[in-house]
Structure 1
Amino acid sequence: MSERLVVIGADATGMSAASQARRMAGPRELEIVVFERGGFTSYSACGIPYWVGGLVAERDALIARTADEHRARDIDLRLHTEVLEIDVAERRVRVRDLGPDAESWVGYDKLVIATGARPVRPALPGIDAAGVHGVQTLDDGQALIDTLTITEGKRAVVVGAGYIGVEMAEALIHRGYQVTVLDRGAEPMSTLDPDMGALVRTAMCGLGIEIVGAAEVTAIRTDEAGRVRAVATAEGDYPADVVVLGIGVRPETTLARAAGLPLGEHGGLLTDLSMRVRGHEDIWAGGDCVEVLDLVSGRNRHIPLGTHANKHGQIIGTGVGGGYATFPGVVGTAVSKVCDLEVARTGLREKDARAAGLQYVSVTVESTSRAGYYPDAAPMTVKMLAERRTGRLLGVQIVGREGAGKRVDIAAVALTARMTVEEMTALDLGYAPPFSPVWDPVLVAARKAAAEVRRRG
């Protein structure tokens, strides 16, 4: 008699887990049922800003595998079907088909929770007005494009200056909008230290984007028809024909919390190394709804990225199918861009190091993406943190033009290997004038950090 695997959520983690489980186990050994409340599956949420901005021509380009393609692999994928409740004791889930609006219970032998994250939507007056958009799913992206198509005005306000905020600001610039970004922090990109965030602000202002820091949004103003007309702050109102919320996301663990499953301090599900939910042998979870181990600080973090979500799905599917795989943790690597400015980070910021009780040295260097004499060499700023006594690399942040962002991968590998900045100076990196100075900017920062460790150690 075959077992039944139930998967909640049909994006990166859910469908990676289902597909890998199908590869590991034959159809007669494992029945796979996937519930998805939306209308799409296996899509790139990271690509939505570029679709909105017109750099990606059509929505379907973001879909890696369609529902029919999954079904052809003997996966019972049910779209527009929402899971309302997890009954752990009875090993079943209560679902509602959003078409006929019918409810039923479906039993499971094994369960995967891949419910993702939900955009932060503060309880402000007017927050649900027409023209106010969060951007997390393809449906959200389509709704925003529809609004931009029919809106006559060209004034946009983006609330929040994290990754989504700055990427949506770029998308709106591409669409010809006058863009204002309101953020609670003094500088944009709170994933960076403030001195590096200031570089991002300067570049964004140079692109014609108005950045307002230390701005506390108090309300969304609407007109007589209930449509957005301005965003109110304590300092004044900012006119808007469309508003995009880029305040961040939180783990979508409403079902898990109600079922009594263990959650961490950031609200994400807690799992073991094989992505099993702690204390539950036949329940797995992964993607944006879980917390992961930070290999640098040793603490749990919530890091919603598609790279992790896909890895989680592979690990979960292997475990469900009877194999063995683990997810050791992350170092917190991320890269983004706003127009031609590239922004990257990995490891700890200064405040992260202090919170972890680490003493550190910090250095910043200015360099170029290519040999200085080579055409189109672009400026780049690299900031590096190292542990004060041992010289162990703790974190790197990079802000620059073309060729800057992906250099963070050098640091990500070094962090994972627990290298010291002294050891990094001997890395055998590729060199030619079109690609790098003789001393790569990351290695220049490592040399300076190693000297500072010796001076202060």
Structure 2
Amino acid sequence: MAERLVIIGGDATGMSAASQARRLRKPGDLEIVAFERGHFTSYSACGIPYWVGGSVDGPDDLIARSPEKHRERDIDVRMRTEVVELDPDRGRVRTRDLDGGGTESWTGYDKLVIATGARPLRPPLPGIDAPGVHGVQTLDDGQALLDTLQATEGTKAVVVGAGYIGVEMAEALVTRGYDVTVLDRGEQPMSTLDPDMGALVHEAMCGMGIETVRGAVVTGVRTDDSGRACAVTTEDDGEYPADVIVLGLGVRPETTLAERAGLPLGDTGGLLTDLSMRVRGYENVWAGGDCVEVLDLVLGRTRHIALGTHANKHGQVIGSNVAGDYATFPGVVGTAVSKVCDLEIARTGLLEEQAKAVGLKYVTVTIESTSRAGYYPGARPMRVKMMAERRTGRLLGVQIVGREGAGKRVDVAAVALTARMTVEQMTALDLGYAPPFSPVWDPVLVAARKAAAAVREAGG
């Protein structure tokens, strides 16, 4: 009799795990059932701001594989079906048919994959759940926002939060012709950067006509007589009229089911797994994607990092292991890249605040350079900030902000972090050079040279 693999969640981790397991195990040997409460499978959530902004048509352009394509590969995908309870002791899940009158039933499993993703942070404030207030995490969320934009006659938008999603959604709304105000608690936008680098992002946002209110503490959403959101209120009594409100406050692991079932969670609320992505203490349960915590190789501890790159890798690892093969996910160094208009924003490793929090002594340097040889047409400026451990010179983090050609340079630093290189060792890296691609000394290497000098000057 075939084993049954049940998967909760039909996006990156869940369907990557299903596909990998199917490659390794035939249908007569392994039955695969995937439950997805939404309308789409295997899609790029990272592309939603570009769909909203009109850069891609979507949603079809954002879908890598439809439910029908998965079913053609003998993966039983059950759409609009929500898992409402886990029973790991008995090896079963309880589901609800969202389009069939709420019918509930139990499904047994031999092996379980939890790929429930993350949910947009929605603080418990007055009016926060009113019509016209949107979190953006799934394609269904993106479609709901577009429906609101098409139905409203106004042109005022307020984005609450200036992280990756907040900044990207602000740009998308400006592209659609909205007057956009971004309300953020922070000193500068993009808390994933140090404030001195975030200031460059703020400058770019102002250049696009986005009003950014820093140090803003949101207290609620005011509604009109129909109950629809019409303004955002703040602690200093300032009120910002809005025809549409987008929450860009970040996400939290969606582990409600796991917590109720008693599965282990970490300090940031994500499921805890071993290197094979098996949930700790549960032989036949795996988890991956935005609902788990991962090992930060620089910090040496687990934390929640929600990125599609990790989610797909988790799925590959899980699929191999549930099928009887072997794979591990060793951890991450915290690499991310984004953009505001033509400004590219990248980081990897630690911020200064994170280094201080764990007691690391460090030096930082910041350099200005260009994307190409200065004399070559199209050379654009960029700023690189590098952090190294004070005594050892070990690379701790890199941030890059600049125009075309800046962002993906962070990948060199990500490899150096993974290899635990010192900044001195980095100066000898044999990187490609030609005037159309970089100066003789690549900006990352210029920063490494300066950081190495700072380490020597700081001594012990």
What is the TM-score with the length of structure 1 in the denominator? 0.99
Asked if 1:30 is matched to 2:30, the reply is yes
Which residue identity does 1:227 align to in structure 2? R
What's the secondary structure of 2:137's corresponding residue? coil
Q: Distance in 1 between matches of 2:87 and 2:164?
A: 36
Matches within 5 A, 1:50-89: 50-89=50-89
Asked if 1:211 is matched to 2:238, the reply is no
What's the secondary structure of 1:370's corresponding residue? coil
Matches within 5 A, 1:393-432: 393-432=395-434
Which residue identity does 1:191 align to in structure 2? T
What's the secondary structure of 1:264's corresponding residue? coil
Which residue identity does 2:48 align to in structure 1? I
Pick from 431, 455, 458 the counterpart of residue 456 of structure 1.
Answer: 458
- Quote the offset at 1:376 in angstroms: 2.0
TM-superposition CA deviations, 1:125-171 (whole Å, max 9, x none)? 11122211110111110111111112111111100000000000110
Q: Distance in 1 between matches of 2:312 and 2:93?
A: 24
Q: Distance in 1 between matches of 2:106 and 2:329?
A: 32
Pick from 262, 265, 270 the counterpart of residue 263 of structure 1.
Answer: 265
Asked if 1:240 is matched to 2:248, the reply is no
Which residue identity does 1:172 align to in structure 2? L
Q: Distance in 1 between matches of 2:396 and 2:305?
A: 17
Q: Distance in 2 between matches of 1:59 and 1:42?
A: 11
Q: Distance in 2 between matches of 1:278 and 1:150?
A: 47
Which residue identity does 2:51 align to in structure 1? W
Q: Distance in 2 between matches of 1:367 and 1:421?
A: 18
Pick from 265, 276, 279 the counterpart of residue 278 of structure 2.
Answer: 276
Q: Distance in 2 between matches of 1:99 and 1:227?
A: 26
Q: Distance in 2 between matches of 1:320 and 1:127?
A: 41
Which residue number in structure 2 is paired with residue 439 of structure 1? 441
Matches within 5 A, 1:355-366: 355-366=357-368
Would you say how many aligned residue pairs link Structure 1 and Structure 2? 457
TM-superposition CA deviations, 1:291-338 (whole Å, max 9, x none)? 000001101110000000000000000000100000000000000001
Identical positions, percent: 78
Which residue identity does 1:31 align to in structure 2? E
Q: Distance in 2 between matches of 1:77 and 1:314?
A: 18
Which residue identity does 1:23 align to in structure 2? R
Q: Distance in 2 between matches of 1:5 and 1:153?
A: 48
What's the secondary structure of 2:278's corresponding residue? coil
Q: Distance in 2 between matches of 1:255 and 1:232?
A: 33
Matches within 5 A, 1:111-126: 111-126=112-127
- Quote the offset at 1:379 in angstroms: 1.1
Which residue number in structure 1 is paired with residue 167 of structure 2? 166
What's the secondary structure of 2:112's corresponding residue? strand
What's the secondary structure of 2:122's corresponding residue? coil
What's the secondary structure of 1:215's corresponding residue? coil
- Quote the offset at 1:27 in angstroms: 0.9
Q: Distance in 2 between matches of 1:264 and 1:128?
A: 28
Which residue number in structure 1 is paired with residue 300 of structure 2? 298
What's the secondary structure of 1:84's corresponding residue? strand
- Quote the offset at 1:58 in angstroms: 2.6
TM-superposition CA deviations, 1:340-395 (whole Å, max 9, x none)? 11100000001111122211100000111111112221110100000111100000
- Quote the offset at 1:198 in angstroms: 1.0
Q: Distance in 2 between matches of 1:242 and 1:91?
A: 44
Which residue number in structure 1 is paired with residue 110 of structure 2? 109
Q: Distance in 1 between matches of 2:85 and 2:42?
A: 23
Asked if 1:93 is matched to 2:93, the reply is yes
What's the secondary structure of 1:35's corresponding residue? strand
TM-superposition CA deviations, 1:264-285 (whole Å, max 9, x none)? 0000000000000001111000
Aligned-CA RMSD value: 0.7
What's the secondary structure of 1:410's corresponding residue? helix
Which residue number in structure 2 is paired with residue 153 of structure 1? 154
Matches within 5 A, 1:294-373: 294-373=296-375
Which residue identity does 1:318 align to in structure 2? S
Q: Distance in 2 between matches of 1:239 and 1:438?
A: 51
Which residue identity does 1:5 align to in structure 2? L
Q: Distance in 2 between matches of 1:339 and 1:123?
A: 32
Which residue identity does 1:167 align to in structure 2? E
Which residue identity does 1:325 align to in structure 2? A
Deviates more, 1:282-291 or 1:197-206: 197-206
Q: Distance in 2 between matches of 1:147 and 1:94?
A: 33
Q: Could you list the runs of 5+ residues in structure 2 that have no partner in the other structure? A: none
What's the secondary structure of 2:56's corresponding residue? coil
Which residue identity does 1:335 align to in structure 2? V
Q: Could you list the runs of 5+ residues in structure 1 that have no partner in the other structure? A: none
Which residue number in structure 2 is paired with residue 140 of structure 1? 141
Deviates more, 1:232-241 or 1:105-114: 232-241
Q: Distance in 1 between matches of 2:35 and 2:132?
A: 30
Which residue identity does 2:148 align to in structure 1? T
What's the secondary structure of 2:68's corresponding residue? helix
Q: Distance in 2 between matches of 1:316 and 1:116?
A: 15
Asked if 1:45 is matched to 2:51, the reply is no
What's the secondary structure of 2:316's corresponding residue? helix
Which residue identity does 1:144 align to in structure 2? L
List, as ranges, runs of 4+ consecutive aligned residues in structure 1 with deviation greater than 2 Å: none
Which residue identity does 1:198 align to in structure 2? A
What is the TM-score with the length of structure 2 in the denominator? 0.98
- Quote the offset at 1:228 in angstroms: 1.9
Q: Distance in 2 between matches of 1:81 and 1:223?
A: 34
